A = this chain, B = another copy of it.
């Protein structure tokens, strides 16, 4: 049996995780991309649970950085960054439910070199920023354009080629009353930049308002832990999602499931708080659904929990905490 058939999505989803109607969001049908996560705009699409949606995502710069001689600080127009497809209204979704999104595939699109990474002022993990506000001069700006190929990988230089390991940098639902920049990760998802949000995984997202308002964008062709300089291998893609809805399952922050593990995701500063969020939710999950007493789960994760640093560069840092399915078994 495929692990997915035993996933929470397949067992609890309104559509039982099965594919329903298919939809395509093209650049044209999307029209205006969005820079905030919120419910103040009209949905681009209304779907039933089970819908399979392919979206033409832009890179985080909406394609504006084309040449290695470009200067990001002159081209980019903050806060109009990290354009998002959507929002997608999911029929039947209400506050307190959970959206289950299976990531089916991510395929690069557009002319080569379609990958972009940059150094820009006041952004990144090892430079002064708006928050870690220091007096030292910024690093020189730099743009690197890279050939991205799903088979041969991401060509860094003549000597180094990185494997193509794509994932979704930004995905989430609308907050209940807010509209928050797509640069921010938080309890509703958003700009988590967590490499586990990859094809073959299911991400579970809290529904905060009727219809859920699912957004997606910002796919990365490769990224290390922390997205250190702030910019992964950004690239435009066709990203295909299967969307289901779990009624009456309320989660506080995003969760993830793949063939190997269950993960909870925290976003906060400082980084220990993101880690605490993730681990506390994992403990509570183990207590609620896997038959552990809370203290026992705390002690067990001390011995076998794993953490994955998503980003250490966005307005909140993102950390995933996970436990192997081989250890905790299946949830109720």
- Chain B nearest CB from A194 CB (Å) reads 13
Residue from the set A80, A266, A283, A307 with the largest chain B CB neighbour count within 10 Å:
A307
Chain B hits for A266, CB < 8 A: 133
The reply to whether A283 and B40 contact each other, CB–CB distance below 8 Å, is no
A36 within 8 A of partner (CB): yes
Task: List the interface of chain A (C-beta within 8 A of B).
Answer: 35-36, 38, 40, 79-80, 117, 119, 124-128, 130-140, 142, 144, 154, 156, 159-160, 162, 176-181, 187, 222-233, 252, 266, 268-273, 275-277, 279-281, 283, 294-295, 298-307, 309, 312, 317, 327, 329
Report the Cα distance A160→B302, complex, angstroms.
14
Q: Given the complex, which residues of B lie within 8 Å of A162, measured CB to CB? A: 303-304, 327
Contacts of A273 in B (CB 8 A): 131-133, 269
Asked if B232 and A302 sit within 8 Å, CB to CB, the answer is yes
Q: Which of B79, B178, B223, B295 is the one whose CB lies under 8 Å from A140?
A: B295
Interchain CA distance A227-B136 in the complex, whole Å: 18
B224 close to A301 (CB less than 8 A): yes
Structural contact, A125 and B276, CB atoms closer than 8 A = yes
Neighbouring B residues of A223 by C-beta, 8 Å? 302-303
**Cα-based distance from A280 to B179 in the complex (angstroms):** 29
Q: A165 CB to closest chain B CB, in angstroms?
A: 9
State how many angstroms separate the Cβ of A152 from the closest Cβ of chain B.
15
Give Cα distance in the complex from A38 to B40, angstroms.
11
Count identical subunits in the complex.
Answer: 4
CB pair B136–A128 under 8 Å, yes or no, is yes
B271 adjacent to A126 (CB under 8 Å): no
Query: Are A301 and B181 in contact, with the CB atoms below 8 A?
Result: no
Q: Return chain B residues, CB-CB under 8 Å to A222.
A: 303-304
Residue of B nearest to A179 (CB): B179
> Given A177-B36, A300-B156, are A276 and B132 neighbors across the interface (CB < 8 Å)?
yes
B178 touching A36, Cβ below 8 Å = yes
Residues of B within 8 A of A133 (CB): 126, 266, 273, 276-277, 279-281
Chain B residues in 8 Å Cβ range of A312: 272, 275
Q: Is the CB of B178 within 8 A of A126?
A: no
Extra inter-chain contacts (8) besides given A80-B177, A162-B304, A232-B302, CB under 8 Å: A125-B276, A126-B298, A131-B268, A133-B277, A142-B299, A162-B303, A223-B302, A224-B302
Q: Are B309 and A179 in contact (CB under 8 A)?
A: no
Instruction: From B156, B233, B299, give the contact of A229 (CB < 8 A).
Output: B299
Complex Cα distance A228/B135, Å? 12
Q: List 10 A-B contacts (CB under 8 A).
A: A35-B177, A117-B303, A132-B132, A133-B266, A179-B180, A224-B303, A226-B307, A228-B301, A232-B302, A275-B309
